[in-house]
Amino acid sequence: MAAACPCGSGASFAACCRPYLRGEAHAPTAEALMRSRYTAFVRRDAVHLASTWHPSTRPLDVAAGLDELEWRGLEILGTTDGGEGDEAGTVTFVAHHATGVLTLGQHRETSRFVREDGVWLYVDGDLS
């Protein structure tokens, strides 16, 4: 049985985020990119995080801190625009994490994405 994608889409990893992490395809929507970036956090894939981060806001060391949290699940709460015909969009989500057995937390953010030359990129986000 194929492994479920970490992003929680219900699809297998191979049919969901893997092509984006491997650079075989570009995510068609802002939400698909958001999901692939969550999966990259789960898999500690700094290469995918760097390649999908807008150069104007990308940290010098994308890998810094990647090992600190254990990610436990993603919920997409809403989106605005970010579709295949759009040039910008937002995705609001909650990502659940743990720093230890008893320390559960969540990261809630509205992320901004832009599409440049047909490729969606993460710009920044507001914590909420």
Stretch 6-45: interaction string toward Zn ion, x if CB under 5 A: -x-x------xx-----------------x----------
- Token pair, residue 82, equals 């970010």
Shortest Cβ distance from residue 75 to Zn ion (Å)?
A: 13
Residue number, 22 or 99, with CB nearest to Zn ion:
22
Shortest Cβ distance from residue 4 to Zn ion (Å)?
A: 9
Alpha carbon distance 115, 127 (integer Å): 22
Alpha carbon distance 79, 90 (integer Å): 6
Shortest Cβ distance from residue 5 to Zn ion (Å)?
A: 3
Please work out the total of residues on this chain that contact Zn ion, with binding judged by CB under 5 A: 6
Alpha carbon distance 78, 33 (integer Å): 14
For Zn ion, the binding residues in 63-122 under the rule CB under 5 A are: none
Q: What are the DSSP E strand ranges found in the chain? A: 70-81, 88-100, 103-116, 119-127
Query: Contacting Zn ion (CB under 5 A), which of 5, 27, 62, 74?
Result: 5
Q: In what order do the strands lie in the sheet with 88-100?
A: 70-81, 88-100, 103-116, 119-127
Site residues, Zn ion (CB under 5 A): 5, 7, 9, 16-17, 35
